[in-house]
Amino acid sequence: METGESPLPTSSPIDSRPTSSSPVKWRHERLAYIKVKEMKTHYEAVNSCQFCGDSDDEKILTASDDKTLAIWDPHTGLQLQGFSGHQKSVSSCHFIKITNRIASASWDKSLKLWNVETGKEMWSACHNGLLLSCHTSEDGRLAMAAGDDRTLNIWDINSGELVTCLKGHTNTVTCCRFGAEGNNYASSSMDRTARIWDSRMTRTKLTLRKHTNAVTSCCFTPNGRQLCTSSWDKNVLLWDIATGRYRLEGPMIFKGHEGNVSSCITSTDGSMIVSASFDESIIVWDTNTAREKLKLKGHEGWVIDCDLSTDGNWIVSSSKDKMIRLWNIEDVDEIAYMYAKRSENNLGLKIVLCENCGKQFAATAHGAGNLCVFCRLSQPSRSFARLD
């Protein structure tokens, strides 16, 4: 989908008035519907991004291959604070709102805790392998890190002491997450599974097997009843882990990316999923229908991570192209409708769903049924005229 920028609404916590010296770029394309703010933030790929701040997601936290973390002001695109100390790429970061601290994980095998007010490192702990992910509990008491040593280590944030080590995955652990109430942990792995861990018994409660390639990311829905996972198999899955319904019906499957899916996040109200992919796009999904609402394009490299603001109006994405982008999706349903209508009116097309694979495609008004071109070509009974 074509994207472009115009000044952001003044009601948003993200201002629309960059200064003349601002590194923020407003990218504008005629007939575009999405407002996008583009910021060059690091010297190397940006591996992790998150809305942060005391209230209203007014800042952005990033981690990069340039071995640093930073907090940015989206009003101006200027760096507010930098954190240096890792010896290799910083793969993941997480802002702890309740204590105003930051946890970071790195390929140097260390998990570090930072004081935001002073910018100083508070403590550092080591794993036996490269770290790919870190997360903290909602109450700010525990920090978790995971990596290619196939374990999840959980640390006491105040003392920096190891609380427990969870073992069970048979390959690199790509992502780890605390549940909202702290009773469950979740992890994803290159062993093609995601696991739910019982925090009290420190053992696997559920092992989720449906992906056909490495599982790259996982996140709980706000009510803790479902788990969303993304994978190199190009799919996003939503699992009902509370009732066990997935055992009979399987997870909901979200298909639409053309490349490996690197990250996924759910909205606060659970109505949307946002996923980022190596196909250089971000997709906004409707969780009720498992259908694509919107595909956002503009990055010039793999999109590695994404986050959704608390109010659901903004997406921040980070990429191999060293940029972060802020996308305004405040009117996502109207935008999706306008785009479909524009395609139909201007190009003589209508947007329909393939009755076989469920994927959206553009069809002419006189049409060729409700099958996409790939499913039509796969029909064994279909004959084609020979062209000499």
* Token output for 6: 């115009």
pLDDT at 31: 39
Write the DSSP symbol of residue 9.
P
Please enumerate in sequence order all residues whose Cβ is within 8 A of that of 387, keeping only pairs 6 or more positions apart, or say none.
none
- Reduced to 3 states (helix: H, G, I; strand: E, B; else coil), residue 196 is strand
* Token output for 344: 């139909």
Averaged pLDDT for residues 199-214: 90
pLDDT at 359: 65
Which ranges in 237-331 belong to alpha helices (H)?
246-249
Integer Cα distance of 305 and 361 in angstroms: 27
Inter-residue contact 106 to 112 (CB < 8 Å): yes
Radius of gyration of the chain (CA): 22
In this predicted structure, the answer to whether residue 343 has a pLDDT above a threshold of 70 is no
- pLDDT band, very low/low/confident/very high, at 40 (cuts 50, 70, 90): confident
What pLDDT, in 10s, does the model give residues 80-102? 999 999 999 999 999 998 899 99
**What's the mean pLDDT when you consider all of the chain?**
83
What pLDDT, in 10s, does the model give residues 124-154? 999 999 999 999 999 999 999 999 999 999 9
Q: How many residues does the chain have?
A: 388
Integer Cα distance of 305 and 135 in angstroms: 14
Tell me which of 112-116, 117-121, 231-235, 336-340 is least confident: 336-340
Please enumerate in sequence order all residues whose Cβ is within 8 A of that of 145, keeping only pairs 6 or more positions apart, or say none.
103, 105, 111, 125, 127, 131, 133, 134, 152, 153, 155, 176
Which ranges in the chain belong to alpha helices (H)?
246-249, 332-347, 373-378
In this predicted structure, the answer to whether residue 316 has a pLDDT above a threshold of 60 is yes
- Reduced to 3 states (helix: H, G, I; strand: E, B; else coil), residue 237 is strand
CATH topology assigned to domain 24-343: Methylamine Dehydrogenase; Chain H (2.130.10)
pLDDT at 372: 63
| Dihedral (CA of 308, 314, 318, 324) sign | negative
In this predicted structure, the answer to whether residue 356 has a pLDDT above a threshold of 90 is no
Of all residues in the chain, the percent with pLDDT exceeding 70 is 78
Query: Which residue ranges make up each domain of the chain?
Result: 24-343, 349-388
| Position with higher pLDDT, 180 vs 230 | 230
The separation between CA 126 and the C-alpha centre of its own chain, rounded to angstroms, equals: 26
Integer Cα distance of 111 and 156 in angstroms: 12
Averaged pLDDT for residues 314-329: 95
Q: Is 274 exposed, middle or buried (0-12, 13-18, 19+ CB in 10 A)?
A: buried
Averaged pLDDT for residues 291-312: 94
- pLDDT band, very low/low/confident/very high, at 20 (cuts 50, 70, 90): very low
**Measuring CA to CA, how many Å separate 386 from each of 31, 192, 381?**
41, 43, 16
What pLDDT, in 10s, does the model give residues 52-83? 987 778 899 999 999 999 999 988 888 999 99
